[in-house]
Amino acid sequence: MAPGEEVLSALSSQSPASIYPRFALPGSGSGLYGYSSGTSFASPQVAGAAALVWAAKPTATATEVAQIIEQTASGRGAWNSTLGYGVLDVAAAVSAALGSSAPDELPSLRARSALAMKIKRSKSRVHIGARLSSLMPAISPARRLVRLQAKQGRRWLTIASARTDVSGRVSWAVRPTGGQRLRVRYLGASDLMSVSSRFVRVAGPQLPARKLAGHAHVHGHHS
């Protein structure tokens, strides 16, 4: 179940906000919280789940604790190379250790999102700026992977991508294209819904989308 991607966890007060943006945690009156990825964030989550399972069933061996966590995760005991045993379900693991049924699931906290796109043209470049917004203050738009896409026939092709900054902003600079339609797309996450900006048609010499990708310069968090 590790490494994890975009895990919500407690943050050190010494951590730089530019790298670890702060997030409001509903119900919490103190402490710093934020999202990040990797074993440093995922492993403590699993360790905490193991401690709760062991507390619920003190006679369990280490192997039995691991089996309970694996069997109650989203993969239901099945392992794969992408998610391992899946996403932790601590309530189900503790209930299994107690020999009872898991409580009813709480409604998921998933915010609606908005994505605005602006274009400015210079002599040799088209400068594209976008801002991702969350319509729920507790869910931050920071560090979200946003894609710049160009219309090629009936398909939207991704020509560049970058992560948003603390305020949800991201920008690119591309060569102008004749009649090319561009948009910005966020694919969504468990806490923030997917959204696309309105497309904008850009005038200039024609370039296929695949070549346009080679001329996109990212400003902000590279991905």
> Is 202 in contact with 151 (CB distance < 8 Å)?
no
> Quick one: 195 and 129 in the same domain?
yes
Residues 124 and 216 in one domain: yes
d(CA 77, CA 68): 9
Q: Whole-angstrom Cα distance, residue 16 to residue 25? A: 18
Task: Please give the tally of structural domains in the chain.
Answer: 2
Q: What is the CATH number of the domain that holds 186?
A: 2.60.40.10
In a domain, 106, yes or no: no
10 and 67 housed in the same domain: yes
Q: Which amino acid is at 192?
A: L
- My answer on whether 83 and 147 are in the same domain is no
User: Are both 170 and 133 inside the same structural domain?
Assistant: yes
**Are the C-beta atoms of 72 and 93 separated by less than 8 Å?**
yes
Does 133 lie in the same domain as 81? no
Do 49 and 146 belong to one domain? no
Residue 118 domain-assigned? yes
Q: Where in the sequence is the domain holding 132, given as residue range(s)? A: 113-222
Let me know whether 74 and 147 are in one domain.
no
Considering only CA atoms, which of 74, 219, 78 is closest in space to residue 160? 219
107 in any annotated domain: no
Report d(CA 61, CA 54) in Å as an integer: 8
Neighbours of 157 (CB within 10 A): 16
Based on the domain organization, do 163 and 131 belong to the same domain?
A: yes
Question: Can you count the helices (H) and strands (E) in the chain?
Answer: 4, 12
- pTM passes above 0.75: no
108 within a domain of the structure (yes/no): no
Q: Collapse the DSSP code of 133 into the 3-class scheme (helix H, G, I; strand E, B; otherwise coil) and give the result.
A: strand
Per-residue pLDDT tens digits of the chain, which is 223 residues long: 555 667 777 888 888 877 777 776 766 667 788 777 777 777 888 899 999 999 999 999 999 999 999 998 888 888 887 778 888 888 889 999 988 755 554 445 578 899 999 988 877 788 899 999 998 877 889 889 999 998 888 889 999 999 999 889 999 988 766 668 899 999 998 788 999 999 988 765 544 445 444 444 445 444 4
DSSP label at 30? S
Residues 147 and 61 in one domain: no
What is the pLDDT at residue 54?
93
Question: What's residue 1's pLDDT?
Answer: 57
Q: Are residues 134 and 187 in the same domain?
A: yes
105 part of a folded domain: no
User: What would the two tokens of residue 180 be?
Assistant: 């090319």
Q: Is residue 202 in a domain?
A: yes
- 119 lies in the same domain as 216: yes
Q: For residues 115 and 81, what is the distance between their CA atoms, to the nearest angstrom?
A: 33
